[in-house]
């Protein structure tokens, strides 16, 4: 029997090439050897996105991105969290197994409290209960599907620890019903710098979007920050984020040649940006046309997510039934 892999992605903005190389591509690789369940964590996004049309748009955009990146809904159970009511019932049950202190120590909540304390305002100012409960909802996402591995970024490690703590507390009280998941933190995964050289991230606003128009892509690549060395001056490839981004896309021999041209002088940043544009544009071209096609026919996306939800619920229902029986409400 194959092991089960599950992960959720929040629809909080257009996915960028860092998300693709760091999360989407490795998850699709993992799906070749695992029974994979990948879902759109739209109710997690509700903690930050409070704009109806924006949320709707971002859900479609994220779904289209996964499908255009090669997710095959026949092989991967692909669904939307909000389509699975069992998740929310389990969230409540788990909340009764979770000590409040555990959530007080969760990074996102603690960071909000620390910032408020620093600012001299009420520690819980501006914090809604959704942010506080976030880790329990995530535990329910995971435990409902008895999965073995959860591929996530380093920033989600604590959430996995909390999930395991909650599962253990449940199992100790009611018997071994829940499966303890392992985080799969891909250490060797590609982290790609953004246009300013820091890690590519929506929160730094330094991202290069994945499926955007060629015109936009070109504009963004031209915004990559470099020093002001002239064409003929020798340059240091190891201190240049343009070179670093380029080396994620160029073939090995081209990287060697470009490195030499950096060191010897004679290569201008403008020339390399134009070469990088051609590489990235070719890399995304096929996915982009599929993405555009899906975004123009959203019924197709609805249908795929609907079928995915049915598959997911056929796994979720029996587990929830077992949970209900074990706690005595059934
Ligand atoms: N919290 C995750 C993030 O911000 C998203 C997420 C929600 C998730 N539910 C999950 C990830 C379940 C893995 C498993 O990236």
Alpha carbons 253 and 235: distance in angstroms, whole number: 19
4-192+298-327 has which fold? Rossmann fold (3.40.50)
Assign residue 265 a region: left if phi > 0, alpha if psi is -120 to 50, beta otherwise? Answer: left
Residues of the chain with CATH 1.10.240.10: 211-290
CB contact at 8 A, 166 and 136: yes
Q: What confidence tens digit (pLDDT) does each residue in 195-223 have?
A: 999 999 988 999 999 999 999 999 999 99
DSSP state of 145: T
Ligand 1 atom at shortest distance from the alpha carbon of 151: 13
Q: Of all atoms in ligand 1, which is nearest to the CA of residue 134?
A: 1
pTM: 0.94
Nearest atom of ligand 1 to the alpha carbon of 81: 9
Which protein residue has the closest C-alpha to ligand 1 atom 15? 9
Q: Where in the chain do CATH 3.40.50.620 domains reside?
A: 4-192+298-327
> Are 28 and 73 a contacting pair, CB within 8 Å?
no
Q: Are 7 and 48 in contact (CB under 8 A)?
A: no
Q: How far apart are CA 291 and CA 297, in angstroms?
A: 10
135 CA from centroid of ligand 1 (Å): 9
- At residue 187, the pLDDT reads 73
Kindly indicate whether the domain formed by 211-290 is annotated with CATH number 1.10.240.10: yes
Any atom of ligand 1 within 6 Å of the Cβ of 10? yes
- pLDDT-derived band at 14 (thresholds 50, 70, 90) equals confident
Quick one: which atom of ligand 1 is closest to the CA of 137? 9
What token pair was written down for 47? 């903690």
CB atoms within 10 A of CB 289: 12
Determine whether the shortest distance from the Cβ of 8 to ligand 1 is under 6 A: yes
pLDDT in tens, 84-117: 999 999 999 999 999 999 999 999 999 999 999 9
Calpha distance 57→14 (Å, rounded): 10
Beta strands in 10-50 (DSSP E): 35-40
Q: Look up tokens 């909080």; give the residue.
A: 12
Q: Which two tokens stand for residue 237?
A: 């490839």
Compute and round to an integer the Cα radius of gyration of the chain: 22
Those residues whose C-beta lies under 8 Å from the C-beta of residue 290, and which sit 6 or more positions away, are 67, 68
Question: Are 249 and 283 within 8 A, CB to CB?
Answer: yes
Backbone dihedral region for residue 124 (phi beyond 0: left; psi -120 to 50: alpha; all else: beta):
alpha
pLDDT in tens, 249-294: 999 999 999 999 999 999 999 999 999 999 999 999 999 999 999 9
Confidence of residue 240 (pLDDT cuts 50, 70, 90): very high
7 touches ligand 1 (CB under 6 Å): yes
């Amino acid at each position: 029997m194959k092991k089960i892999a599950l992960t959720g992605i929040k629809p909080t903005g257009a996915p960028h090439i860092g998300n693709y190389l760091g999360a989407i591509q490795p998850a699709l690789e993992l799906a070749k050897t695992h029974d994979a369940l990948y879902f759109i964590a739209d109710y997690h996004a509700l903690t930050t996105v409070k704009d109806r049309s924006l949320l709707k748009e971002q859900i479609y955009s994220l779904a289209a991105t996964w499908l255009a990146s090669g997710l095959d809904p026949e092989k991967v159970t692909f669904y939307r969290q909000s389509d699975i009511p069992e998740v929310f019932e389990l969230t409540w049950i788990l909340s009764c197994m979770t000590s409040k202190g555990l959530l007080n120590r969760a990074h996102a909540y603690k960071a909000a409290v620390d910032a408020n304390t620093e600012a001299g305002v009420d520690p819980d100012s501006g914090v809604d209960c959704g942010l506080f409960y976030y880790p329990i909802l995530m535990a329910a996402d995971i435990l409902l599907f008895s999965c073995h591995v959860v591929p996530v970024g380093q920033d989600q490690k604590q959430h996995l620890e909390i999930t395991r703590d909650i599962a253990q507390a449940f199992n100790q009280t009611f018997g071994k019903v829940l499966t303890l998941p392992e985080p799969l933190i891909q250490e060797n995964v590609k982290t790609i710098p953004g246009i300013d050289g820091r890690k590519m991230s929506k929160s730094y606003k330094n991202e290069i979007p994945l499926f955007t128009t060629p015109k936009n892509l070109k504009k963004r690549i031209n915004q990559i920050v470099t020093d002001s060395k002239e064409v003929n001056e020798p340059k240091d490839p190891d201190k240049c984020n343009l070179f670093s981004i380029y080396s994620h896309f160029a073939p090995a021999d081209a990287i060697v040649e470009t490195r030499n041209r950096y060191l010897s002088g004679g290569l201008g940043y403008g020339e390399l940006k134009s070469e990088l544009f051609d590489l990235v544009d070719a890399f995304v071209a096929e996915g982009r046309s599929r993405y555009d096609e899906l975004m123009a026919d959203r019924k197709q996306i609805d249908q795929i997510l609907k079928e995915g939800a049915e598959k997911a619920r056929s796994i979720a229902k029996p587990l929830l039934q077992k949970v209900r029986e074990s706690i005595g409400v059934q």
